[in-house]
């Protein structure tokens, strides 16, 4: 008797178990690279060769060389909302569907952006270190004076799902909202009173600027020397999107010269190698790319990736294709 061959799914790192169970329950042959470090290229090539579906991470480059190693892959489900790590054009040529994980990580990422806003506005990290270093000797009138969010201008770069969720949070803190977006976002405007403005206006007038754009050829170094120099001396720049959207060398220079107040970054240009000069500055809060790092978001990201694979392999098409 001829046995029907099982679909093979390769997952490049351990993800929440619920998703692995979902795939196994379908009878798929699921392999997981289970070390807690980036998968070596050789190991990746060996495992994707005969895979029907792959779950990939945002820090793995899926370029022409990788695609050409795949003999029968139908879908790559990227375990992230951003998919700048994948050569989408080449995937299209190879008839491989690419999916991402929108929506399920929106609230987690927006919460983290607000955590960075508050950390910068109220000098939380500095103050916390001060207490731990045993320096707190009593209340002082001018100890760690920060700024309020209420009545400040809060500029959102990118009027998508995450940008909207951050705008709603900032509005609840009493900020006035402006945003940059290709398209008018009626929901964003109705729920926060936000106004859509040009990039230059946003940079010149915002007290807080939070980046929520995808990384593309158009947004690479969008905040370059000319644009960063438009920001107010008192302004706070938050990035939970992609490091490459900001020219980090220039950012370091303007932070050193105190041409802006401070920066709260969860993402960097050459992750995980952060420019040491950036970390030497006192006015930077740096986090290790943990925007979507909540139990809820990661579980739902994993389930969505698995559901996309099941849907595609059973001929029903992707649930959240990127194009």
Radius of gyration of the chain (CA): 22
Residue of 122, 221, 253, 271 marked catalytic: 271
Give the C-alpha separation, 317 to 42, whole Å.
30
Contact 79, 58 (CB under 8 A): yes
Name, in order, each residue with C-beta under 8 angstroms of 167's C-beta and a sequence gap of 6 or more: 154, 156, 177, 179, 188, 191, 192, 194
Residues in the chain: 323
Residue of 161, 169, 289, 298 marked catalytic: 289
Nearer to ligand GLV, 196 or 212 (CB): 212
Nearer to ligand GLV, 149 or 211 (CB): 211
226-to-238, 267, 269, 277, 281 alpha-carbon distances in Å = 18, 21, 18, 21, 22
Active-site residue flag, 221: no
Nearer to ligand GLV, 16 or 102 (CB): 102
Q: Which two tokens stand for residue 30?
A: 């699921």
SS3 77: strand
Ranges of H-type helices in the chain: 17-25, 41-48, 64-67, 88-93, 106-121, 124-132, 161-172, 186-192, 199-205, 225-228, 248-256, 276-280, 295-313
Residue with tokens 């700024």: 147
Among the listed residues 115, 2, 30, 3, the one whose alpha carbon sits nearest the alpha carbon of residue 305 = 30
Residue of 60, 242, 248, 307 marked catalytic: 242
Active-site residue flag, 289: yes
Give the C-alpha separation, 155 to 301, whole Å.
28
Contact 320, 100 (CB under 8 A): yes
Nearer to ligand GLV, 239 or 260 (CB): 239
Contact 260, 231 (CB under 8 A): yes
Least Å from the CB of residue 273 to ligand GLV: 17
Least Å from the CB of residue 117 to ligand GLV: 17
Active-site residue flag, 271: yes
Nearer to ligand GLV, 59 or 224 (CB): 59
Nearer to ligand GLV, 219 or 292 (CB): 292
Site residues for ligand GLV per CB under 6 A: 58, 80-82, 102, 105-106, 160-163, 212, 291-292
Least Å from the CB of residue 268 to ligand GLV: 12
Least Å from the CB of residue 160 to ligand GLV: 3
Least Å from the CB of residue 112 to ligand GLV: 10
Nearer to ligand GLV, 67 or 83 (CB): 83
Contact 206, 178 (CB under 8 A): yes
Angle at 163 between CA 89 and CA 79, to 5 degrees: 45
Q: Which residues are catalytic?
A: 242, 271, 289
């Amino acid at each position: 008797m001829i046995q029907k061959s099982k679909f093979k799914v390769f997952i490049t790192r351990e993800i929440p178990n619920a998703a692995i169970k979902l795939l196994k329950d379908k009878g798929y042959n699921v392999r997981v690279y289970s070390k807690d470090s980036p998968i070596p290229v050789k190991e990746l090539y060996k495992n994707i060769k005969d895979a029907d579906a792959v779950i990939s991470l945002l820090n793995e480059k899926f370029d022409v060389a990788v695609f050409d190693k795949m003999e029968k892959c139908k879908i790559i489900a990227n375990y992230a909302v951003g998919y700048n790590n994948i050569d989408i054009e080449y995937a299209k040529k190879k008839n491989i569907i690419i999916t991402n994980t929108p929506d399920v990580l929106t609230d987690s990422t927006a919460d983290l952006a607000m955590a960075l806003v508050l950390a910068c506005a109220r000098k939380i990290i500095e103050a916390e270190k001060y207490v731990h270093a045993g320096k707190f000797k009593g209340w002082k009138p001018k100890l760690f004076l920060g700024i309020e969010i209420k009545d400040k201008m809060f500029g959102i770069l990118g009027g998508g799902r995450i940008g909207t969720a951050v705008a709603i949070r900032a509005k609840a803190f009493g900020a006035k909202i402006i945003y940059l977006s290709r398209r008018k976002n009626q929901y964003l405007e109705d729920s926060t009173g936000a106004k859509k403005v040009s990039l230059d206006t946003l940079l010149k007038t915002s007290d807080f600027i939070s980046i929520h754009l995808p990384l593309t050829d158009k947004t690479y170094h969008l905040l370059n020397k000319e644009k960063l120099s438009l920001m107010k001396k008192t302004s706070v720049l938050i990035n939970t999107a992609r490091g490459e959207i900001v020219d980090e060398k220039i950012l370091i220079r303007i932070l050193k010269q105190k041409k802006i107040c401070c920066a709260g970054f969860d993402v960097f240009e050459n992750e995980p190698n952060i420019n040491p000069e950036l970390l030497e500055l006192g006015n930077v809060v740096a986090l290790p790319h943990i925007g979507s790092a909540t139990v809820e978001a990661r579980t739902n990201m994993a389930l969505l990736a698995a559901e996309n694979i099941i849907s595609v392999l059973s001929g029903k098409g992707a649930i959240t294709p990127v194009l």
